[in-house]
Amino acid sequence: MDPIFDLIKQETERQRKQVQLIPSENFISEEVKSALGSDLSNKYAEGYPGKRYYQGNKIVDEIEQLAIDRGKKLFGVPHLNVQPYSGSPANMAVLVGLLEHGGKFYGMQLSAGGHLTHGHPGVTFSGKYFQSMQYGVNEEGKIDYEKMAQDVEREKPKLIFVGATAYPWILEWEKFSRMAKSVNAWLVADVSHIAGLIVGGVHPDPAPFVDIITSTTHKTLRGPRGAIIGVTENGLAKDPEAAKKIDKSVFPGLQGGPHLNNIAAMAVAFEEASRPEFKKYAEQIVKNSIVLAQTLKSEGLKVLGTENHLMLIDVGEGMGKEVAQRLEENDIIVNKNTIPNEQGSPFRPSGLRIGTPAMTTRGWVEKDFEELGKRMAQIIKK
Ligand SMILES: *Cc1c(COP(=O)(O)O)cnc(C)c1O
């Protein structure tokens, strides 16, 4: 047998045996997996349902349309594109579709919890081919809305990205909306991390406040790797061409054929996320997160958070990597991360990033996380 299958088996065992706490990871259902591993992977379908460049697309048109319809309902948007290959290409499609080359936009600093695609200077397309400005967080690790509003007023960016990979607090969409409106900027909510919490009703919904929503589908939403771009009623009111601009930017602007197996798996995940059980799942993620943070705090650790699915722990200057390794030796998987106002470096950061979505899928509840918190504290303090 091809050794790759033995390696896959080993990885499945690793995922089951260890405690998985990386906040961007999750466990997909067997149904999602079966759509992902289907014959849809064989088909080419450049274009959109009803407007393809290849023959033989009658069935995949229905599949993509179903994914679009379910996703529109789930995210509460009048227009949805389900073709982006992943979160980074989705964000690229938004910037390329809505801004001129070199256009000015605003995004959260990587070190404050933002994403590379939100304008990280030097190394990313978003920082190299656009004029990116970055906002950070205050001493408490929170967005300073007043300062940000003043900066927006002064700099007048054409677009504002809101969304993060390591921000343990609620995002206040209404405040961002006021800032964006004051300078007529596009407001984009990148809800990759929190999509499952939003559709599960435990994080405020950006749809009434923003113009564009981007999201990966594989984090708290618990679907396949992939991404969506939604255009809201506000977005269409701001520019009636917004939906067309986004679609053209994805294809033919940046991508070729859509990954139909992923799109079918997305449709399955959207249906799962619209069930009442998913609401309970989302609620449990946050309950577990709060209990874990409280336990770690009561053990004397410096915890930042939490109001959502994740938290940061300050484990001492430059110590993140070493402590993450020690936890791995004890079968607890987390990742090293910068903390707000980091004194170390991105390679030797001072924090750990920890989240509850994956183990909540496995059925863990408060008492499991309390026990885990005590064990983790012992290992961290060693
Ligand atoms: C994960 C994430 C992305 C990127 O997704 P990839 O699928 O890894 O490219 C973009 N933005 C945010 C906020 C994310 O959390």
pLDDT tier, 382 (very low <50, low <70, confident <90, very high otherwise): confident
Going from the Cα of 24 to the center of ligand 1, the distance in angstroms, rounded, reads 9
Q: What is the pLDDT of residue 343?
A: 85
Buried b vs exposed e over 327-352: b needs ≥16 C-beta within 10 Å?
beeeebbbbbbbbbebebeeeebbbb
Catalytic residue (one of 70, 219, 238, 353): 219
Is the domain of 261 the same as that of 134?
Answer: yes
Segment 114-143 mean pLDDT: 95
Range of the domain at 294: 277-380
- 170's CB contacts (< 8 A; 6+ apart) are 203, 204, 307, 308
Find out whether the peptide bond into 124 is cis, omega within 30 degrees of 0.
Answer: no
DSSP H stretches of helix in the chain: 3-17, 30-36, 58-75, 87-98, 125-128, 145-155, 173-182, 195-199, 233-238, 242-248, 260-273, 276-298, 320-329, 357-361, 366-381
Question: What phi-psi label fits residue 26: left (phi over 0), alpha (psi between -120 and 50 degrees) or beta?
Answer: beta
Report yes or no: 199 and 177 within 8 Å, Cβ to Cβ. Answer: no
Going from the Cα of 214 to the center of ligand 1, the distance in angstroms, rounded, reads 9
**Does residue 13 sit within a domain?**
no
Is the domain of 146 the same as that of 293?
Answer: no
Is 216 annotated as catalytic? yes
Is the domain of 252 the same as that of 300?
Answer: no
Task: Give the model confidence (pLDDT) of 358-381 as tens digits.
Answer: 999 999 999 999 999 999 999 998
Last-in-domain residue among 273, 295, 326: 273
Is the domain of 218 the same as that of 297?
Answer: no
- Domain count for the chain, please give it: 2
**Residue 101 belongs to domain with CATH number:** 3.40.640.10
Last-in-domain residue among 222, 244, 273: 273
36 DSSP assignment: H
Is 190 annotated as catalytic? yes
Is the domain of 135 the same as that of 257?
Answer: yes
**Residue 323 belongs to domain with CATH number:** 3.90.1150.10
Is the domain of 283 the same as that of 245?
Answer: no
If one residue of 115, 118, 215, 266 were mutated to test the ligand 1 pocket, choosing by the most ligand atoms within 8 A of its CB, it would be: 115
Task: Give the model confidence (pLDDT) of 156-178 as tens digits.
Answer: 999 999 999 999 999 999 999 99
Segment 51-64 mean pLDDT: 97
Look at ligand 1, atom 15, and give the residue with the nearest C-alpha: 165
Tokens of 89: 């290409």
Q: What is the pLDDT of residue 73?
A: 98
* Encoded amino acid at 377, one letter: A
Parallel, antiparallel, or unpaired for β 47-48 and 104-108? Answer: unpaired
Is the domain of 154 the same as that of 283?
Answer: no
Is 322 annotated as catalytic? no
Decide: pTM greater than 0.85.
yes
**φ/ψ (deg, to 5) at 97:** -75, -30
Is 225 annotated as catalytic? yes
Is the domain of 175 the same as that of 221?
Answer: yes
Is the domain of 141 the same as that of 267?
Answer: yes
Q: What is the pLDDT of residue 347?
A: 83
Task: Give the model confidence (pLDDT) of 321-356 as tens digits.
Answer: 999 999 999 999 999 999 988 888 878 999 999 999
**Does residue 63 sit within a domain?**
yes
Is the domain of 370 the same as that of 247?
Answer: no
Catalytic residue (one of 25, 33, 43, 46): 46
Q: Among all chains, which residue has been given the structure tokens 């110590």?
A: 319
Is the domain of 145 the same as that of 281?
Answer: no
Catalytic residue (one of 64, 190, 247, 314): 190
Last-in-domain residue among 226, 253, 273: 273
